[in-house]
Every structure is written in C-alpha cells, then in structure tokens.
Amino acid sequence: MRPNSAEALPTSAPRSTRQKRAVAQLLGELDVFRSAQDLYAELRRRGERVGLTTVYNQLRTMSESGEVDVIRTEDGESLYRLCGSGHHHHVVCRSCGLTIEVEGPELESLAARLASKYHFSEVTHTFEIAGLCSTCACV
C-alpha cells in the first residue's frame, strides 16, 4: 500500500544468496503444494545448508511478492507453490498434492453478484477444490 511503510524499510535492493537460490530452485522443480517444513527437509536431504527460519523468511517474501501461492490445510498448516500470475483457483490432490490452476469466470461473477446483493464491499473470495487425482484414486 504505502511506498514506505514504517515497518521494515529496506534502503537498497534485496541480495542474492545461496539459500534464497536453493529455495527458489526447489520450488521451480515442484508442481505441488508443500509445507515449509517439507521444503526444508528436502533441502537438507539434498545437502543444502539452509536454516528453517530462512526457508520461512523466503517463502513469506515470495508469497508477498506474488511469486508463490499459499493455501492452508484443514489443520492449519501452510502449503506453498510457485504460481502463475493473475487471479486463479486450484484443483488439488489430497494425496499427492498435484495441483491444477483453473479460472472460473462464472465463479467470479457469482462472487461479485453475491457481494452486491448483500451490499458487501472490498470483497475477496476463496475457492478450492480438493480430491483424488486419477493416479492416486487407483491405489
């Protein structure tokens, strides 16, 4: 919102570090939603020297800049995934995390219609579909 919020004002550009690159690259390889803890574990498994705090920092930064999408599981865990730009929704496999980005014009208009019907302003909406993908359903 404000160009210079009181919080963190960085006086210069973000720096490129080994850790940031590792997180970004891992996200680039995956097309599924994963938790911060999962991503951290995977990085360690690969021998990357990264701290959990840094993974969280990086994911927050990337989600704020719109580079990654965040969804929350039923038990409150946050899952992250590199995302395409623009407004979209997801069809997510509960079992393997496989995710398909979808758009729904009729959904958007429905949301807008309901908002105006009840005189709500500054509306946002969430729409997520969870199920079993064809691969996981066979097991």
Question: Could you list the residues that contact DNA (CB under 7 A)?
Answer: 10-12, 14-20, 35-37, 49-54, 56-58, 60, 76-78
Among DNA, a copy of itself, none, what does residue 128 contact (CB within 5–8 Å per kind)? Answer: a copy of itself
Nearer to a copy of itself, 25 or 73 (CB): 73
Nearer to DNA, 48 or 108 (CB): 48
In this structure, the chain runs to a length of 139
- The verdict on 63 binding a copy of itself (CB under 8 A) reads no
Q: How many alpha carbons fall within 13 Å on the CB side of residue 35?
A: 11
Q: Answer yes or no: are the C-beta atoms of 80 and 24 closer than 8 Å.
A: no
Q: Say how far apart CA 43 and CA 55 lie, in whole Å.
A: 9
Q: Sheet with 78-82: list strands edge to edge.
A: 34-35, 78-82, 68-72
* DSSP code, position 89: E
- The verdict on 32 binding a copy of itself (CB under 8 A) reads no
Among a copy of itself, DNA, none, what does residue 56 contact (CB within 5–8 Å per kind)? Answer: DNA
Which neighbouring-strand residues pair with 92?
A: 99, 130
Binding letters toward a copy of itself, positions 81-120, x by CB under 8 A: ----------x-xx-----x-x-x-xx--xx--xx--xxx
Sign of torsion, CA 61 75 45 94?
Answer: negative
Q: How many residues bind a copy of itself (CB under 8 A)?
A: 32
Q: Say how far apart CA 123 and CA 116 lie, in whole Å.
A: 10
Residues that bind a copy of itself (CB under 8 A): 72, 76, 91, 93-94, 100, 102, 104, 106-107, 110-111, 114-115, 118-134, 137
